[in-house]
Amino acid sequence: MHTGRAHHGTSWFFANHRWGARRNTTMQPERRGRCPKLPISTLKPESLLPSDHRDISHVRLVRVFVADTSTPSYFHSGGEPWQSGSRAHTRFPDNTRGFFYCAPRPGLPPIASSVRFRCTPTYSPSSSAEGHDLLLPNGLPWQILVGQAAISYPGLRAALLHEGFLTPQTVEEWNARLGKTHGRLSAALTMFSLHQLFPINFAAGLVLHVVPPDTQRIAKLWLSQIFRTVVNGKSIQPFRGTGLAQFEVSPANPDLLHLRIVKLVEPVSRTVPQDVAGGMPLPREGELFHHRPRSDGVCKPWGFDLRRQSKLGVAFRMLVGRLDA
C-alpha cells in the first residue's frame, strides 16, 4: 500500500457498523451514534475481508475493536489517544471509505510500523492498490505508531500482540525506555531517520523524539528558540504559519545540520517588519531556514554542530546514526 493524495480538513470521528459481510456494492456511511462499536477482523492487509470496510465520512470519533479484543481503542484524525474536551470536535472529510490496516516500515524497528486508514474505491480489499492512505491536512499520513499503541492503546496493543506486530518483550522494553519523562508520543513528531518530514509551526518551538534503529534509547530534541529572534532586548517569533521540514547534513561540513522548509501548509506572514527582525527572510518552500539568534548577530541558515557536547548534541547524533553518541 502506498500514500496517495491528501484528504483535507482536520477531524475527530465516530462510527458504527454491524459485524458481517456487506451484501451489495453500495457503500453507506456508518450509522451515527454515541460512539458505538466498530469491529474489524484484522489489521493484516493480506487478511482483510470485505466486511472490514468502513465508511467514516463526516463523523467525529471511532471506537475500534480489533479481532476478539474486548477493550476498544478511540481514534481521531490526528492519530493520538482521544481525550474528551481536549480540542474542538470537527468532522471527518468526505469520501473517507476504506480499511484500517497495519503498515510496516522496512528498515526501521517494529515500533515504527503504524496503523493507517486506506481509502479505497470499493469495499473489496483488492481495490487497495487503486486507493490511497488517508492524509492529514499537512500531507503527512494519518497513523498511530505501534509504539504509541504499546503505551496508550490497551485494545489496539492487545490486537497487535495477537497478530504478531508486537511482542510482550517489546511492550515491556518500550514502556521502560519511554518512561514518564518523555510524555505521550506523537506519530508526526517521533523521528526514526534523519530525512523524515515533520510538522513545524513558526509561532512555536519544536519538540521531537528521536528513536535510533536499535531503540535502546529515546532522546528529546527540544528547540524552543529555533524560530525566534531578539528585538529590542526581547525574544520574539517574527513569523506565523505552518509547514513541513526536515534536517539535512551540510554538503560542505559533515558535522553541521541545517533545517530545510519542504512544504508550507498555512501561508507564512510576518509579525514584525523585516528590518526590525534583523533582515530575516520569509521562510520559503525548498529553502533552508534562516535565523538571527541574537540582536547583534548575523542572519544565516540555522545550523547545529554535531560535535556539541550536550543533551541536544546526543539527540542529533542519534538522529544521524552516530550511535556512539
Reported as a single tens digit per residue, the pLDDT across 293-304 is 765 678 899 999
Split at pLDDT 50, 70, 90, the class of 24 is very low
Is residue 32 one of the residues assigned to a domain?
Answer: no
Grid look-up 479505497 returns 120
Q: Mean pLDDT across the stretch 10-17?
A: 28
Residue 16 belongs to a domain: no
The verdict on 133 and 241 lying in the same domain is no
Grid-cell match 480538513, residue found? 9
Most confident of 45-49, 156-160, 176-180: 45-49
Q: Which domain holds residue 246?
A: 190-319
State how many domains the chain has. 2
The rounded percent of the chain whose pLDDT value lies above 70 is 80
Domain assignment present for residue 21? The answer is no
Q: Does residue 264 have a pLDDT over 90?
A: yes
Please, are residues 202 and 242 in contact by the beta-carbon 8 Å criterion? yes
Query: Is residue 40 predicted with pLDDT exceeding 70?
Result: yes
230-242 burial code (b ≥16 CB/10 A, e <16): bbeeeeebbbbbb
In-domain check, residue 26 = no
Give me the pLDDT at residue 169, please. Answer: 92
**Whether residues 72 and 112 fall in one domain:** yes
Residues 170, 63, single domain; the answer is yes
pLDDT digits (tens, 9 = 90+) for 48-104: 999 999 988 877 778 888 877 778 887 776 555 444 444 554 667 888 899 999 998
pLDDT band per the 50, 70, 90 thresholds, residue 214: confident
Torsion sign, CA atoms 171, 176, 179, 185: negative
- Residue 323 has what pLDDT? 63
> Which residues 6+ apart lie within 8 Å of 150 measured at CB?
111, 157, 160, 166, 170, 171, 174, 175
Would you say residue 236 lies in a domain? yes
Comparing C-alpha atoms, which of 229, 232, 215, 120 is closest to residue 176? 215
